[in-house]
Chain A
Amino acid sequence: AQKVTQAQTEISVVEKEDVTLDCVYETRDTTYYLFWYKQPPSGELVFLIRRNSFDEQNEISGRYSWNFQKSTSSFNFTITASQVVDSAVYFCALSSYNNNDMRFGAGTRLTVKP
């Protein structure tokens, strides 16, 4: 069975602070994909990143960075110098490499205050 845990239900920061969203996963698969999605107040699901289990290299995209640690089954997401527009619910997700059945964590609601 696959499981994704996002222990932080809500986080509130002040603009320009750095913030890290935690994601821990469980899977019996040896090959799998990990994802982060953003859901702004408008409701759509915006794809942020996909990482396959072969590749533990950390990734940076502008103010966003991701830390994949296979040893601790974690895939954490950091926003540097947060902005009000980053306010959203962020979901971590896991999918089997073969079956493609993506399962989501419960989400973390991030509020960035001016």
Chain B
Amino acid sequence: DAGVIQSPRHEVTEMGQEVTLRCKPISGHDYLFWYRQTMMRGLELLIYFNNNVPIDDSGMPEDRFSAKMPNASFSTLKIQPSEPRDSAVYFCASSLRGGYTFGSGTRLTVV
């Protein structure tokens, strides 16, 4: 198995632009998570899905952030419009029966 695949690995964008981060979970995993890592706030859980259904999005910072999981093999995290304070590393993880696997992360820089 190739593990959890995130794309792109790095993204640099200008303030105000839309950014879409992508994640392909491990096949068969029934949970998918989006985390954000910053120096100030550490690793924060943004949202997670169970069987493609969003369960808890209380960690999503504001309405500029949205996440979807249209099928079991794909999820997106969208920021529109992006702001410099959104600069962070965004991790996707998938899980089955409490065993988690993280992707390599997307480093987002908003200038």
* A residues lining the B interface (CB < 8 Å): 33, 35, 37, 43-45, 47, 50, 52, 91, 95, 97, 99-107
Query: A95 touching B98 by the CB < 8 A rule?
Result: yes
Query: A103 touching B45 by the CB < 8 A rule?
Result: yes
The stretch among B14-22, B78-86, B101-109 that forms the contact with chain A is B101-109
A95 to B55, CA, bound (A): 14
Q: Which residues of B contact A43 (CB under 8 A)?
A: 89, 104-105, 107
Q: Which residues of B contact A35 (CB under 8 A)?
A: 100
Query: A33 touching B98 by the CB < 8 A rule?
Result: yes
Q: Which residues of B contact A37 (CB under 8 A)?
A: 102
- B50 located at the interface, meaning its Cβ lies under 8 Å from any Cβ of chain A in the complex: yes
Q: Which residues of A contact B107 (CB under 8 A)?
A: 43
- B99 located at the interface, meaning its Cβ lies under 8 Å from any Cβ of chain A in the complex: yes
A32 to B20, CA, bound (A): 33
Query: A100 touching B102 by the CB < 8 A rule?
Result: no
A2 to B100, CA, bound (A): 18
How close is B71's CB to chain A, nearest CB, in angstroms?
19
Query: A47 touching B100 by the CB < 8 A rule?
Result: yes
Query: A44 touching B105 by the CB < 8 A rule?
Result: yes
Query: In the complex, which residue of chain B has the Cβ closest to the Cβ of A44?
Result: B104
Query: In the complex, which residue of chain B has the Cβ closest to the Cβ of A91?
Result: B43
Query: A100 touching B42 by the CB < 8 A rule?
Result: no
Query: In the complex, which residue of chain A has the Cβ closest to the Cβ of B33?
Result: A102
